Chain A
Amino acid sequence: MLDRRQAVATLLRERPEHLLVVPGLGSSTYDVAAAGDDPRNFYLWGAMGGALSIGLGLALAQPAKRVLVVTGDGEMLMGMGSLATVGAKRQQNLAVAVIDNEAYGETGGQASHTRLGVDLAAVALACGFKQAHTARTLAELQPLRDVLLHASGPVLAVIKTAAGEMPRVLPERDGHLIRARFRAAVVCGQS
């Protein structure tokens, strides 16, 4: 089992200029913030089930950039229909990393469907994702960084991590500020 902080830091180290990151609410937002605050992160504090759809709209608007959605198993399960939408859309510049601790960490660690046998990588493949993989060790995760950042999408990686609380790293919570900061970094000067 991987440490989720280390896993997300591995994905985001030496972060390419063109990489835009949409973390799902809760631990994924803390993990992405812990890897280094960046105006090209659109932190979510709500909108559960919406992270991948936000990523799709962004990827459509910015086809020359890479969009990485980093989210938890519970958030991805709530938006499972969006895997079908993304698969059908065949969005090439879109990648998903599911940080899968098989539990709802924000609410007391209750088991999620992935602990009860649901395989999100298999769901993604069935929805038409070009690649979907599962990593359980750092050695398995290392090559997936390249897939998530560079392979023709849509691609998805399930990263199995240990359950349990991590120290919270809380980024900005004001949605207006997060949006304005993101757009200033990504959109302003383009049009």
Chain B
Amino acid sequence: MASEGAFQPGDWRADIYAALKRQRITQMAYVPDAGHASLIQAMHADPAIKVTVLTTEEEGVALLAGADLGGDRGVLLMQSSGVGNCVNMFSLLKSCGFPFVTMVTMRGEWAEFNPWQIHMGQATPDVFTRAGFLVYRVDHPADVGAVTEAAVRIAYDSNQAVAVLLSQRMIGAKVF
């Protein structure tokens, strides 16, 4: 695969990348995030994926709706703090039945150093649920590929909005 050199041995983000490729994802949008860093790098290096860096996460919700209107499959990479930035734009997905997948690195739930991350991190699963999403959570690296693949399939085969929450314990809490 074109970009597998971006990953260190044992990096579970390689499993996300492989699952997204198998499921024919061709657009990716993101706000820079340390937890997704190697995945972002791999997707930038892949000429088959159209990557867009955003100023705020809600742009990515709208952008992937546009991608679907043009026949592309996409994924939005963000951190839990970005979920709150998207709330009204999520109504676009549900009002029109857009398929949508986001991979969310969690903050504020496991050995969090920054108290300002706790509130949005703790609210994230409820915000997604109230916005009409299917919410999957991954705590173990062995599950990440299968969950990613199932998320993309149910999103695009059954027109669902899906959030995959990547637990902070699995990512490794940021150390200052």
Q: Which of B37-45, B90-98, B121-129, B148-156 contacts A (4 or more CB under 8 A)?
A: B90-98
C-alpha spacing A79/B67, complex, angstroms: 18
Q: Apart from A51-B62, A61-B67, A179-B97, what are 16 other A-B pairs with CB-CB below 8 Å?
A: A49-B58, A50-B62, A50-B65, A53-B61, A53-B62, A57-B27, A57-B67, A57-B69, A60-B67, A60-B72, A61-B72, A81-B55, A81-B59, A85-B54, A175-B96, A176-B97
C-alpha spacing A53/B59, complex, angstroms: 6
- Which chain B positions have C-beta within 8 A of A183? 68-69, 71
- Which chain A positions have C-beta within 8 A of B98? 179
- Evaluate contact between B71 and A61: CB separation under 8 angstroms: yes
C-alpha spacing A43/B117, complex, angstroms: 37
Which applies to chain A's interface (DSSP): helix, strand, loop or mixed? helix
- Which chain A positions have C-beta within 8 A of B91? 46-47
Task: Give, as a whole number of angstroms, the nearest-CB distance from B32 to chain A.
Answer: 13
Of residues 20 through 48 on chain B, the ones whose CB sits less than 8 Å from some CB of chain A are 26-27, 29
- Evaluate contact between A178 and B96: CB separation under 8 angstroms: yes
A190 within 8 A of partner (CB) = yes
A163 within 8 A of partner (CB) = no
C-alpha spacing A84/B59, complex, angstroms: 11
C-alpha spacing A81/B52, complex, angstroms: 13
- Which chain B positions have C-beta within 8 A of A58? 66-67, 69-70
- Which chain A positions have C-beta within 8 A of B26? 61
C-alpha spacing A88/B56, complex, angstroms: 14
Of residues 40 through 72 on chain A, the ones whose CB sits less than 8 Å from some CB of chain B are 42, 45-51, 53-62, 65
C-alpha spacing A58/B46, complex, angstroms: 20
Task: Give, as a whole number of angstroms, the nearest-CB distance from B106 to chain A.
Answer: 24
Of residues 13 through 57 on chain A, the ones whose CB sits less than 8 Å from some CB of chain B are 22, 42, 45-51, 53-57
Question: With A47-B91, A79-B59 given, is the CB distance from A187 to B71 under 8 Å?
Answer: yes
Q: Which residue of A lies closest to B60 (CB)?
A: A53
Task: Give, as a whole number of angstroms, the nearest-CB distance from B140 to chain A.
Answer: 33
Best-buried of B70, B72, B74 by chain A (most CB within 10 Å): B70
Number of B residues whose C-beta is below 8 Å from A?
33
C-alpha spacing A26/B74, complex, angstroms: 28
In the complex, number of A-B residue pairs with CB atoms less than 8 Å apart:
121
A to B CB contacts below 8 Å, 22 in the list: A46-B92, A47-B65, A47-B91, A48-B88, A50-B62, A50-B89, A54-B65, A54-B66, A56-B66, A57-B29, A57-B68, A60-B67, A61-B26, A61-B27, A61-B67, A82-B55, A82-B59, A85-B52, A88-B53, A175-B92, A176-B97, A191-B71
- Please give the residue numbers on chain B whose beta carbons come within 8 Å of chain A beta carbons, in ascending order: 26-27, 29, 50, 52-56, 58-72, 74, 88-89, 91-92, 95-98
Q: Which residue of A lies closest to B98 (CB)?
A: A179
C-alpha spacing A13/B27, complex, angstroms: 32
C-alpha spacing A42/B70, complex, angstroms: 11
- Evaluate contact between A176 and B96: CB separation under 8 angstroms: yes
Residue-wise interface mask of A (166-189) relative to B, using a CB-CB cutoff of 8 A (1 in contact, 0 not)? 000000000110110011001100
- Which chain B positions have C-beta within 8 A of A187? 69-71
- Which chain A positions have C-beta within 8 A of B88? 46-48
Out of B67, B95, B97, name the residue touching A46 (CB < 8 Å).
Answer: B95
